[in-house]
Structure 1
Amino acid sequence: MSTSTTTPSETIHVTLGERSYPVWIGRGLLDDHARWRAALRGKHALVISNHTVAPLYLERVARGLDGLHWSSFLLDDGEAHKSFANVGLALDALSTLGATRDACVVALGGGVVGDLAGFTAACWMRGIDFIQMPTTLLSMVDSSVGGKTGVNLPAGKNLVGAFHQPRAVVADIGTLDSLPVREYRAGLAEVIKGAAIGDETFFAWLEQHADALAARDENALVQAIATKVRYKAGVVARDETEQGERALLNFGHTFGHALETAGHYTTLLHGEGVAVGMLLAARLSERLGMSAQADTLRLERLLLAVGLPTEVPSGFDPEQLLALMRLDKKNTAGTLRLILWRGIGRAEIVSGVNEAEVLAVLREACHQR
């Protein structure tokens, strides 16, 4: 941790007219009840968390809910539990609570909790408030901001969902103290992604501060989180429902989601899938003559510097991965539509990508010819 005596903090606004909201980043925010309690408009609240996070932080959040009618619903930990079955149970919990149209769902956890809680809030009485309290780096810099909610199906990840913006995002970096190293590193993949697709200056800053970020230096961490959130907030404000520019945020995700699904959500964490997926997208871009090898190598070096994987795990089948990529939501008219790049900071949407070229990249990554 940083030895600085001043705890850094940032407030970033996601500007969406009447649905605008703040993203608070800093230490001790879960205990700043006066700040986030004001975002709750009614008398009912359901805290959705999981069995790993709740024992650590639920009591602190509960103190801020004093005087409300509230209850909690806890998931088991892991991507496999972002399911329709658990949405049904969460809706039952809202029903038991007697939640009205001005109720609020509080998402206390990582991306799985946030996505499922947001989708639950979007469904109850056709949409009630929710607040994001992300407890992982990945959810702080990505999934908690922008209003994407959803659940997984056996056929693929996030195939069902809704755009439903939170009332506020409370990113208490103190919760990262309890985050396992692997989970923390997975979050850095989304930070790197933001730089890779649209900010070469930030990418160079990450290269210079890779060691500090890997060591969880607090000043570097807050700056990295704030820069990534500020970038994403701008994209969301310009393209809330992903009709154009926002799709760029999926750089590496079509490959990554296929890897996650093929591994039954147990082989790779989401951020690890994104890390490998970004590198595969860069290699495909290079193969298609869009980018230079030097950019691919810079990306690979940065991923390795912060401890992220860069190789497809053994045992994966390239044909299966391609089949899973065909299910991606960005595809149109039965053709692959991928986010590729022309080098660091210059991502673009490419339609009609030749499947033979994609398969060649997958075969090479899976060490098949």
Structure 2
Amino acid sequence: MHYYQGREQILKKVRQLAQLQFNSQSIDIFPDFTANVAKARAAFTEVKKRIHNRPNDQYGLIYPAKLRIIFIGDKREFTDPDKAMEFVTYTIVASMQRSAIGVCVPEWDGLICWPQGFPGTLTKTPCPRYIYDFNHAEHAYRRCDSNGSWVLAESSNKTWVNYTECIKSPEPNKKRQVFFERLHIMYTVGYAVSFSSLLVAIFIIGYFRRLHCTRNYIHMHLFVSFMLRAVSIFVKDHVVHTSARLQEFDAVLMNNFTNAVDVAPVDTSQYMGCKVTVLLFIYFLATNYYWILVEGLYLHSLIFMAFLSDSKYLWGFTLIGWGVPALFVAAWAVVRAMLADARSPESGPLRCPLGGLNG
């Protein structure tokens, strides 16, 4: 309506009614567009033509001159026609073209969720931050062929992926390195002092015959379990410092999660000492807790079963302290060997988890 008086009367009446409805639908009445508003809305005409034939995408002009586009659930609003055209051209239209020629689909490879890859290009993604030993400033790579499929490794029928940059550790943090070196010295000295003290205690109990009794025999078994635990820690440190380089360990870790990694093959025999060390450590750690349990059982027997012979107790307690942990650790070793080592040659051996075993 272009008549000023009639338009003002209608707007005045609408303001008095507050809310105008027709067939339970609200009706909004706005003043006629000014020349500037009409010009601004007309500037979006070409943009609307570009997305007019896409039924799955919604768009509309919002008063006074704002274009709203909903593309795959993503709502965008534009007041600049050039930016709206750029979004339509490089996002919506490009998506239509990619759908026509096919793309490498996003997928999870066990370590990284790979994004969509475009035919004939190298796709890269940042090294995951949830892998502590990775170099988080670098990237992993995959290649998408011209047919829209991920390139396979030549040595196997599995997807090619390159984690070389991820397993190249950045320059070590000197403060952090000094901290762990000091920590290593502290717990080594602590275990050495504990071992020496327990050795002296065992010698004293064994030398003086007056100290020979069931209670002290149980104490000696507990002391021996702590000493063997300390020895397993020393052996673990020796195996770690004389085993393969850190990069080889990381390469093995990669083989657990990926299908094909560009790293040199690793000799599986070098991990035998590591596996034995882990097995012994877990066993001696378990005997520690079981001999502590035996101490409690012995005190309980003194109170509630005083009429039984101490010599019978000792054989039963020895079986509990050394035998029961052996059963659980043996079962764990068998399951570990069956599930972790019985794998295809391409997947490689399981990384030996020595780094965090200090008890």
- TM-score, L = length of structure 1: 0.22
Answer 1 or 2: higher relative contact order, Cα 8 Å, separation at least 6: 1
Greater percentage in helix = 2
**Greater C-alpha Rg:** 2
Query: Which structure shows the higher strand fraction?
Result: 1
